[in-house]
Amino acid sequence: MPLQNLTVLGSTGSIGLSTLDVVRRHPDRYRIVALCAHRQLDRLYAQCLEFRPSHAVVGDAGLAAELATRLAGAGLSTRVAHGPQALVDMATLPEVDAVMAAIVGAAGLPSALAAARAGKKVLLANKEALVMAGPIFMAAVRDSGATLLPIDSEHNAIFQSLPHDYRGDLAASGVHSLLLTASGGPFRCTPLDALAGVTPDEACAHPNWSMGRKISVDSATMMNKGLEVIEAHWLFNVPPAQIEVVIHPQSVIHSLVRYVDGSVLAQLGNPDMRTPIAHALAYPQRIDAGVAPLDLFAVASLHFERPDLQRFPCLALAYRALRAGGSAPAILNAANEIAVQAFLDGAIAFGDIPRVIARALDRLPAGPLHSLDEVLAADGAAREIARQTIAALPA
Assign residue 17 the CATH number of its domain.
Answer: 3.40.50.720
Q: 158: domain range? A: 152-270+293-312
Dihedral, 238, 161, 291, 33 alpha carbons, nearest 10: -60
In whole angstroms, give the CA distance from residue 194 to residue 206. 17
User: What is the predicted pLDDT for the residue at 44?
Assistant: 98
Is 279 part of a structural domain of the chain? no
* Residue 166 sits in the same domain as residue 299: yes
* Residue 146 sits in the same domain as residue 158: no
Query: Domain end: 129, 150, 171, which one?
Result: 150
Helices 223-236 and 153-161 cross at an angle (nearest 10°) of: 30
In whole angstroms, give the CA distance from residue 143 to residue 256. 29
For residue range 346-391, list pLDDT tens digits in order. 999 999 999 999 999 999 999 999 999 999 999 999 999 999 999 9
Q: Work out whether strand 253-259 and strand 264-268 pair parallel, antiparallel, or are unpaired.
A: antiparallel
Cα–Cα separations (whole angstroms), residue 87 to 20, 115, 279, 281, 372? 18, 10, 24, 20, 16
Is 280 part of a structural domain of the chain? no
CB 347 within 8 A of CB 390: yes
* Number of C-beta neighbours around residue 199 at 10 A: 12
CA Rg, the chain, in Å? Answer: 20
DSSP 55-73: EEEESSHHHHHHHHHHHHH
Torsion angles phi and psi, residue 175, rounded to 5: -95, 130
Is 236 part of a structural domain of the chain? yes
Q: What is the CATH number of the domain that holds 380?
A: 1.10.1740.10
Query: Domain end: 312, 341, 364, which one?
Result: 312
Query: Could you give the number of structural domains in the chain?
Result: 3
CB 257 within 8 A of CB 158: yes
Is 350 part of a structural domain of the chain? yes
- Burial degree of 164 (CB within 10 A; 0-12, 13-18, 19+): exposed
User: What is the predicted pLDDT for the residue at 209?
Assistant: 62
CB 174 within 8 A of CB 183: no
Is 277 part of a structural domain of the chain? no
Helices (H) and strands (E) in the chain, counts: 17, 11
pTM of the model: 0.93
DSSP-derived letter for residue 79 is E
Is 288 part of a structural domain of the chain? no
Is 119 part of a structural domain of the chain? yes
Q: For residue 182, what is the enclosing H or E element?
A: strand 175-182
Cβ contacts of 77 within 8 Å, gap of 6 or more: none
Cβ contacts of 222 within 8 Å, gap of 6 or more: 182, 184, 185, 245, 307, 312, 314, 315
User: What is the predicted pLDDT for the residue at 81?
Assistant: 98
User: What is the predicted pLDDT for the residue at 224?
Assistant: 93
For residue range 123-134, list pLDDT tens digits in order. 999 988 999 999
* Residue 125 sits in the same domain as residue 211: no
DSSP-derived letter for residue 168 is S
User: What is the predicted pLDDT for the residue at 210?
Assistant: 63
Is 205 part of a structural domain of the chain? yes
* Residue 168 sits in the same domain as residue 261: yes
* Residue 172 sits in the same domain as residue 299: yes
Torsion angles phi and psi, residue 116, rounded to 5: -65, -45
* Residue 177 sits in the same domain as residue 248: yes
User: What is the predicted pLDDT for the residue at 2?
Assistant: 84
User: What is the predicted pLDDT for the residue at 206?
Assistant: 72
In whole angstroms, give the CA distance from residue 29 to residue 2. 7
Cβ contacts of 312 within 8 Å, gap of 6 or more: 221, 222
* Residue 304 sits in the same domain as residue 333: no
Q: Work out whether strand 175-182 and strand 147-150 pair parallel, antiparallel, or are unpaired.
A: unpaired
Helices 84-91 and 109-117 cross at an angle (nearest 10°) of: 30
Query: Domain end: 253, 279, 312, which one?
Result: 312
* Residue 9 sits in the same domain as residue 117: yes
* Residue 109 sits in the same domain as residue 22: yes
Q: Which residues of the chain have pLDDT under 70?
A: 208-210, 395
User: What is the predicted pLDDT for the residue at 213?
Assistant: 86
* Residue 117 sits in the same domain as residue 233: no
User: What is the predicted pLDDT for the residue at 208?
Assistant: 67
- Among 74, 75, 92, 76, smallest CA distance to 36 is for 92
- Among 127, 152, 128, smallest CA distance to 279 is for 152
* Residue 238 sits in the same domain as residue 94: no
User: What is the predicted pLDDT for the residue at 105?
Assistant: 83
* Residue 40 sits in the same domain as residue 115: yes
